[in-house]
Structure 1
Amino acid sequence: MKVTAKPKSGPSAASSAKSWNPYRLTPPPNVDRQQFTPRLSEEDRADLAEGVALFNAGKYWESHEAWEKIWRRHPEPWRYFVQGLIQAAAAHHQLRRGIRHGVLKHLHNALVKLDAAPPDFAGLALAPFRDDLHSLLDRIEASEKMTVSSLQLRFIS
């Protein structure tokens, strides 16, 4: 299932009138991919790796906290991508707590952001991770039963 952004309504709609261009995470065809790769400081790399290790260990709240440090330091599009990782962690935290609505909301929002990124953005193997998130979303939408996920996020070797 391909996830698309839902239009906002209500009082917050005016503040989010700026539409997100998913191509901001993907280089145009005539741009060298190496030049488009986010510039990560050593601190960014350490926080990204810490978040990945915590996520893979099932410490979803803690991974969210590690990634939030990066999110606070950077503008879009990097910030938008990191928010997708944070929302994937939040979905898993809600899954563990058994809060179906929270799982669905966070998975949907995470996939809107992560699907916009190239499969190797920031040195992460995003394609299999996104596929697993989509499968999890499909399973939960198709059934009321929720089981704890064991998704893993990896760096490209």
Structure 2
Amino acid sequence: MNDIPLEWIQGIDEFNAGEYYACHDTLEALWMDSIDPDKKFYQGVLQIAVACYHLHNRNWRGAVTLLGEGIGRLPYYQPVYAGIDVTQLIQDSSNLLTTLQSIGIEGVGDFVDRLLQDSTSLPSIVRIKYRS
């Protein structure tokens, strides 16, 4: 990726602020208008954002499914792509997926409640870090 679109930066800022629905809208528009290899990359990040949205709404199944799909699209882009640390994003997302799988559907409510006691959203779990 040579030129990083402003919408990409906006979507990442929305993601890191825990505004997952807005991030979805921003990145989906970018994804729909792109071609590979960027298209697959955008889709992977978009799926992780939607997974976080589902988690925030205590939708365990949606969060687990989309985390897995998003993670699966990103290894090719390591270590850095489009200015972000893809390796760290995969690691953070994989750690969250492992945690969700271990607590199961019955534990998701308590898990999210504990997270929200420390913050108003979930961005502390998975963040997208810029790198050069």
Q: TM-score, normalised by structure 2?
A: 0.82
Q: Which residue of 2 aligns with 1:117?
A: 77
What code does the residue aligned with 1:77 have? Answer: P
Q: Which structure has the bigger radius of gyration?
A: 1
Deviation per residue, 1:38-91 (Å, 9 max, x gap): 1325xx2x1111011100110001111111122122111210110001100100
Give the aligned CA root-mean-square deviation in angstroms: 1.4
Distance verdict in 2 for CA 1:68–1:62, change over 3 Å = same
Identical counterparts, % of pairs: 25
> How many residue pairs are counted as aligned between the two chains?
117
Structure 1 consecutive aligned stretches of length 4 or more whose deviation exceeds 6 Å: none
Q: Which residue of 1 aligns with 2:127?
A: 152
Deviation per residue, 1:64-120 (Å, 9 max, x gap): 111112212211121011000110010000001111110111001000101231210
Unmatched segments (≥5 aa) in structure 2: 113-121
Structure 1 position 40 matched with structure 2 position 3:
yes
Structure 1 position 128 matched with structure 2 position 127:
no
CA distance in 1, matches of 2:34, 2:2: 10
Unmatched segments (≥5 aa) in structure 1: 1-37
What code does the residue aligned with 1:76 have? Answer: D
Comparing 142-151 with 95-104, greater Cα deviation is found at 142-151
Q: Equivalent residue of 2:35, what SS?
A: coil
Q: TM-score, normalised by structure 1?
A: 0.70
CA distance in 2, matches of 1:64, 1:119: 23
Greater share of residues in helix: 2
Q: Which residue of 2 aligns with 1:52?
A: 12
CA distance in 1, matches of 2:68, 2:44: 10
